[in-house]
Chains A and B, each alone.
Chain A
Amino acid sequence: MVTRRDFFKITGTAAGTAAVALAGVETAQARPALDPDRMGVLCDFTFCIGCRRCEYACAGENGLPQGALESYDDKSLLEKTRRPDRQTFTVINRYPALAGQSGSLDVKVNCLHCEHPACVSACPVSALVKNARGPVTYDASRCIGCRYCMVACPFQIPAYEYNEPLTPRVMKCTLCSDRILAEGGIPACVEICPAETMVYGTRDALLKVAHDRIRNHPGRYVDHVYGEYEAGGTSWLYLCDRSFQEVDLPAVANQSPAEVTEAIQHGIFRGFTGPLMVFILTSVILKSAGKGPGQAREDKHE
C-alpha cells in the first residue's frame, strides 16, 4: 500500500533521476560551441599600479560618464571597496600589503565573461548572449527588464538603470566586443594600461602564460589562476599574491551554476520524457492505491 508520504518520495526521486540522467546530453546540445581560439584577458594584480586609466578608457569606450583624465588621479577612491555599477563597468580596489611585505595590491573588478554564463542561461529572451569568441554581449532591444541575470550572476556584476523609467538597461562590461570582434582590436582597458597589467589573447595561450608566471616566479603568486575553472571557467583570468577571497573574489564552484539549473530544467522537460514518466508513475500508483482500499472494503463486507 502506498501512503501519501511514499507517493511524494517516489515521484520526487523519479523526477530528479530523470533530470540527472538527461543532463549531460541536453546541455551539450543546448549550448553553441565556443571557438577554440576564443579570446580572454589575463589580469595580473601584482603589476597593477592603481592608476585607474582603465576606468577612464572604459568610460569613454562605453559612453559612460567620464571625468577629465586628471580626475582619475584621485587615489582616495581606491581606499574603499567599490563595485561596478550602472555608470562604471570596471573599478580598481586597493588592498593593503601582506604582512612583512611591501606594496599594496590593486585589484580590477569587472564582468568575467563566463564560459557558460549563468546570466545568459537565466535570460528568458536571449538579450544576453555568449559570443563564441569570448564576450558576453547584451542586446537592450530584447531585454524585458526581468533582471534574472542580476540574480543569476555568481559574481554579482550586472547593474540596472533603475533611474531610467522608460528605457532601463542592464549594465556590465562588454569586453569591448565591438572592438575585439573587429579584426585587430583589443579591449580599451587593456590598451591603455601603462604597466601591461592585462594581456589580451586566446584563452588557451593566456592560461599557459599564467601558469608559466606562477612557475617562474615562485613566491610572487598563489598557485591559482582565478577563472580557469571558477563557475565553469571565465574569459578573464586573474593572478594574485594572496587568496582570491582576500580580495573579495567569491569562492564559487568549478561547475557553472547554469549547468546545474539547466541540467534540472532541460532534463525534466526534454522530449517530454520526464513529465510522461511522472504521469505513468502517478497512474500506476493511483491505480494500485484505488485497488487497495476497495479490497479492504470488500473484506469488511465479508
Chain B
Amino acid sequence: MRSLVFIVAAAFLLTPAGPAAAAGQHGQPELPATRAHMPATSSCAQCHTCDKPTAAEPCLVNCPRHGGHFYGSHDVGEGPDVVVIGQLANLYKPVVFSHKLHAVMADMNGGCTNCHHYSEQSGVIPPCRECHAVDRQDADLSMPALKGAYHRQCINCHLDWSGEGSCSYCHEESGSAAGAVVHDPTDIVGIQHPKIEAVETYTYETSYADGPVVTFHHADHVEMFGQACVDCHQGDSCKRCHHGENQAAVPRTLDHVASCYTCHAERDCGFCHRQESTPRFDHARSTGFDLKDYHGGVSCQTCHSTPDHFRTPSSRCGDCHIHWEVGNFDHALTGLKLDDIHVEVDCTSCHAGGDYNRTPSCTDCHDEPMLPKQWPGTGPRTKM
C-alpha cells in the first residue's frame, strides 16, 4: 500500500502547471457616457480611417455595414426604374435589373432595407461598388467583394421563390449566339409586377360550429374598399405566390387574419362566421342607402373617415357636404334648376331641418292658392 501512495504522490509532482492566465483583452475605447461605442467589430479600421479616433473626431468610414445605418425615408417611386449593371462587360452583356419592380414588391416585406443596408446621413444611397471592391480584400475579410455582394442579394431570394440559380438567368454571355434574348433597357423602363390575378372570393370551411363558413371577398377589399396589398400582406415574401405548392396547406390561424382586425376590430365572431357563404358587399342591401350615381364613384373613406364611422353613418347630406351653401351648390345636379328667386333662398328654408332626403313641397312655404303652375325652376333631371 505504501508504494501506491508513493506513486500517486509522484504523479502529482510530475503534473505540469495549469495553463497560464488568459491573455489580457484589448480594451474598448472610452467614450463619453452619452455616446456608446458600437459593439467591437473585427478591427478599428473597419469603421475608423485614422489610427487614433477620438469622440470629437471619430473619422468614421463612409460605409459602416452593420447596425441598420439606413437613414431617411425613401419612397418606392424615388428609385430608378431599371439599373444596368455592366461591370463585367468583358464576360457578359450588362445585367438589366428591374429596380422598380423589386422596390414595389419589396414594399410588402422589408422595403428598401431588404437590399440597401446603408445610406448616408443625407439619405443618399451609394452604389454597391462604392464599398464593395471588385477584387477580394484580404485586409478586410468581413465584407464580401462586389461579386459576392451582388450574388448574395439576388440568388438567395431567386433560388427561394423561383428555384432559379443559373448564371444565364441574369447574365448573358457577351459572345452568345444570335437569337438569344437581348436585354434592351428601354424595353422595361418602369416595368411593374404583372397584375396579380387574385381569386375574387375565398370561402373557408372552419371548425367553428356556430358559423362554419367564412367568406372573404378579396375583390371587395381591393376594388371597393381600396385596400393596398401591403395593408394585409405585410411580411409576405415572393414565395407566398411564386412557389406553387401547398398554399392550401398553410394553416389558417388567428394570426393569419390579424390584419382583418385593423378594420373589423369590434366585430363579433358572427360577422365572419356564417352558416353559409355571403354575397359580395352591396351598399343598398346592407345599409338601405343606395349610392346611386354620385356616391357610387366615391371611395368609402370619403364618407366614412374612420372605421368607427362605418357603424354610425350619417344620412344627413350636410354632415358631409359642409361646404355646400347658397351660391356654391349647383342645384341643377339634383335635376331641378332653381330660378333666380329661389336660388337666393337659404337651403334650409325649403329643406327644413337640413333633411335633404325628403323632397320639399311648395306648400311647405306657400299657401295652396298661390302655387304656380310649374315648379320654380326648369330642366329635367340630368346626369353630369
Residues on A lying within 8 angstroms of B by beta carbon are 10, 13-14, 17-18, 20-22, 24-25, 28, 42, 47, 49-51, 73, 102-103, 186, 193-196, 199, 201, 205-206, 208-209, 212-213, 215-216, 277, 280-281, 284-285
Contact = CB atoms under 8 A, between A and B. Distances in A.
A281 B3 contact: yes
Q: What 10 pairs across the A-B complex have the smallest Cβ distances?
A: A196-B148, A21-B11, A24-B16, A216-B66, A21-B14, A17-B11, A196-B144, A201-B141, A195-B151, A208-B42
Classify chain B's interface size: 35 or more
25 contacts: A10-B3, A18-B7, A20-B15, A21-B11, A24-B16, A25-B14, A49-B159, A50-B165, A51-B165, A73-B166, A102-B160, A103-B159, A186-B136, A194-B151, A195-B152, A196-B145, A196-B148, A196-B151, A199-B141, A201-B138, A208-B41, A208-B43, A213-B142, A216-B41, A216-B67
Q: Secondary structure at chain B's binding surface: helix, strand, loop or mixed?
A: helix
Contacts of A24: 15-16
Nearest to B142: A209
A20 B255 CA distance: 59
Contacts of A14: 4, 7
B379 interface: no
B156 A47 contact: yes
B39 interface: yes
B238 to A, nearest CB: 9
Nearest to A206: B141
B48 interface: no
Contacts of A285: 3
A229 to B, nearest CB: 15
A49 B151 contact: yes
Contacts of B147: 194, 196
A194 B67 CA distance: 25
Given A49-B159, A73-B166, A209-B42, A17 B8 contact: yes
Contacts, number: 93
B261 interface: no
Contacts of A281: 3, 7
Nearest to A202: B141
Residue of A50, A195, A208 with highest tally of chain B CB at under 10 A: A195
Contact of B165 (A49, A201, A206, A209): A49
B159 A50 contact: yes
B155 A195 contact: yes
B99 interface: no
Contacts of A277: 7, 10
Contacts of B149: 196
Contacts of B145: 196
Contact of B160 (A103, A195, A196): A103
B289 interface: no
A103 B156 contact: yes
Given A13-B4, A196-B148, 19 more contacts: A14-B4, A17-B7, A20-B15, A21-B11, A21-B12, A22-B14, A28-B16, A42-B141, A47-B148, A49-B156, A73-B166, A103-B159, A186-B136, A196-B151, A201-B138, A216-B39, A216-B41, A280-B3, A281-B3
Contacts of B237: 102
Contacts of B41: 208, 212, 216
Given A73-B166, A201-B141, A194 B4 contact: no
Interface in B1-43: 3-4, 7-8, 10-12, 14-16, 39, 41-43
B218 interface: no
B12 to A, nearest CB: 7
B114 to A, nearest CB: 13
B299 to A, nearest CB: 35
Interface string B81-104: 000000000000000000000000
Best-surrounded residue of B39, B41, B141 (most CB of chain A within 10 A): B141
A265 B316 CA distance: 99
B239 interface: yes
A276 B89 CA distance: 75
Nearest to B153: A195
A195 B148 contact: yes
A92 B147 CA distance: 21
Contacts of B39: 215-216
Given A17-B7, A18-B7, A102 B141 contact: no
